[in-house]
Chain A
């Protein structure tokens, strides 16, 4: 019973391609997140999203877009991939998005752009 799952686990692709990473949570949480962890292991939030609000980190290029078909899913779509997009992308969820909420992370997707 995986609480937060992501697919694929590994993704290798060419520059310029468009790709998506899927995320699902079965915790009944209202808020989901995407994080990027680069080679230096710094974990940075990209988006947080619930039914009411999408909060975007202003440093995230608009080539990245979250798509949520329903409360349990938050997919990450990336257009025109660049070398610098290579990183591990983590999806996470929390109960209601409050700043004192514990976040539960998915296993991560390692994206390599060639």
Chain B
């Protein structure tokens, strides 16, 4: 089974840095993914981690620690358009994605 936890809501200021955490309980998985979903729109892929460590992709970085059952998404130089929900998802061996509940981020001017 899978149990994924994320904070429900976060607020940050334009230009700041924000870290969105994701914790999970699983016996094993292939990859941990982060998706962005703007209100009323479809989720879109942001990043994924297969190995432990930090993956950087422009203003977005994602970190994974399998031993700790923990990942985070780091957003730098926040922009108003970054206001969205951020979904952590785990791809399990022999199964498909399981999404976390999502974190709704509000970026304030």
Contacts and interface: CB of A to CB of B under 8 A. Distances in A.
Interface stretch (A14-22, A65-73, A76-84, A105-113): A105-113
Interface string A86-114: 00001000000111111111111000000
Instruction: Name the residue in B30, B33, B97, B101 with the highest tally of chain A Cβ atoms < 10 Å from its Cβ.
Output: B97
Contacts, number: 56
A59 B91 CA distance: 19
Interface stretch (B39-47, B56-64, B72-80): B39-47
A45 interface: yes
A48 B42 contact: no
B48 A99 contact: no
A41 B102 contact: yes
Interface in B86-109: 87, 91-99, 101-102, 104
The majority secondary structure among interface residues of chain A is: loop
B97 A102 contact: no
Contacts of A102: 33, 45, 48
Nearest to A103: B97
Among A33, A44, A45, find the residue whose CB has the most chain B CB atoms closer than 10 A: A45
B54 interface: no
B44 A48 contact: no
Contacts of A103: 45, 97
B45 to A, nearest CB: 5
A79 to B, nearest CB: 24
Interface of A: 33, 40-45, 48, 55, 90, 97-108
Interface of B: 29-31, 33, 41-45, 48, 50, 85, 87, 91-99, 101-102, 104
